[in-house]
Amino acid sequence: MSEIRKNIADFAEKDRSKWIEKARYRRENRNWLRKSKRIAVRVLSTLKEKGMSQTDLAETLDVSRQQISKIVKGKENLTLKTVAELENVLGVVLLDIPETEVEMEVEASYSWPGAFEPKTEKNVTKRVKWPKSGRQKWNQSDNIYRYRKSA
């Protein structure tokens, strides 16, 4: 190790930045955190439109101001009950289930047992049968399953 690297390593605090732990948490919980943040964006813009404060919202929902703070920071793993209550109070849809056709992306690590095993060649795309109906494609370049299911 060069002298300057050794010097800075010696000079630095013993404890490392907490960022790496937080980044790992954000990555491991990405799917629900993304939804939570999008809900937060909609809640914040609706509060603004309606001229409501977060305290008003907390009082209307009979929850603590801290819980509303977690919701608008996109950190809350919301229950469906809470989402429904927020929708009722704010008069906006926060979660919607498409009725006819759904297209979604699923990370490869979430595939079901016995699913298509990726080949090693780059950019291989292969269709496999989804367990019930529909079809699915996997692209090695981004390690994402793309699944399209018709109603």
Partner 1 sequence: MKIVAIIADPEPTLYTVQYHGNDKDEFDIAFDDWNDPEWLRLFFEENETDLDAYNKFHGTNYTIDEAVLKTLDDAEKLEDLLYDIACSGSEYLQDMFEQLHEKEDDYYVLQKSKAKRSWLRLYAIRIDEHLYVFTGGAIKLTRKMNEREHTKLELDKLFQVKEFLKRKGLVNKEAFEKLELGL
Whole-number Å distance between alpha carbons of 151 and 148: 10
Nearer of residues 8 and 129 to partner 1, judged by Cβ: 8
* 56 CB-near residues (< 8 Å, 6+ apart): none
Task: Give the start-end residues of each E strand in the chain.
Answer: 101-107, 125-129, 135-139, 144-150
Q: Does 28 bind partner 1 (CB under 8 A)?
A: no
Shortest approach of partner 1 to residue 149 CB, angstroms? Answer: 25
Smallest gap, in angstroms, from Cβ of residue 51 to partner 1? 14
CA distance 71 to 115: 36
Taking the complex as a whole, how short is the minimal distance between the CB of residue 12 and partner 1, in angstroms?
5
By CB under 8 A, what part of segment 60-79 binds partner 1? Answer: 69, 72-74
**Binders of partner 1: how many residues, by CB under 8 A?**
34
Tokens (6 digits) for 46: 């609706």
Rank residues 4 and 151 by Cβ distance to partner 1 and give the closer one: 4
The β-bridge relationship of strands 101-107 and 135-139 is unpaired
- 20 is an interface residue for partner 1 by CB under 8 A: yes
Q: CA dihedral defined by 135, 139, 142, 144, rounded to 10 degrees?
A: 20
Tell which positions 76-105 bind partner 1, by CB under 8 A. Answer: none
Catalog residues that contact partner 1 under the rule CB under 8 A.
1-5, 7-9, 11-13, 15-20, 22-24, 26-27, 30, 37-38, 40-42, 44-45, 69, 72-74
